[in-house]
Amino acid sequence: MTQETKIEVVRIYRFQNGGSVKAFADIQFDEDYIVKGFKLVEGKEGLFVSMPSEPGKNGKWYNTFVPLSDEVKGRIASTVLNAYEE
């Protein structure tokens, strides 16, 4: 993924139940693919974006999408946060 890669939220579902998960989001990268299941979570230090994950056979949760650089992770996080705040 390059700096020119377009990242946009194509669907965001907000929760009003007062829990720690505030929203789910699906993100499109360029015109190539959509990744579903990003979570916006209220943590001890504020809102953060959790990557899509699924449970393993041992009951632990494992990310199914892993950004390989802090820059990409930051771009994803800011895109989801901006969509949530709109």
Q: Residues 30-57: pLDDT tens digits?
A: 989 999 999 999 999 999 999 999 999 9
Integer angstrom CA distances of residue 46 from 1, 7, 16, 40: 27, 23, 17, 10
> How many other CB atoms sit within 10 Å of the CB of residue 40?
22
- Classify the C-alpha dihedral 35-54-69-47 as positive or negative: positive
Give me the domains of the chain, ranges plus CATH numbers.
7-80 (3.30.1120.40)
Longest CA span, the chain: 39
* pTM reported for the whole predicted model: 0.85
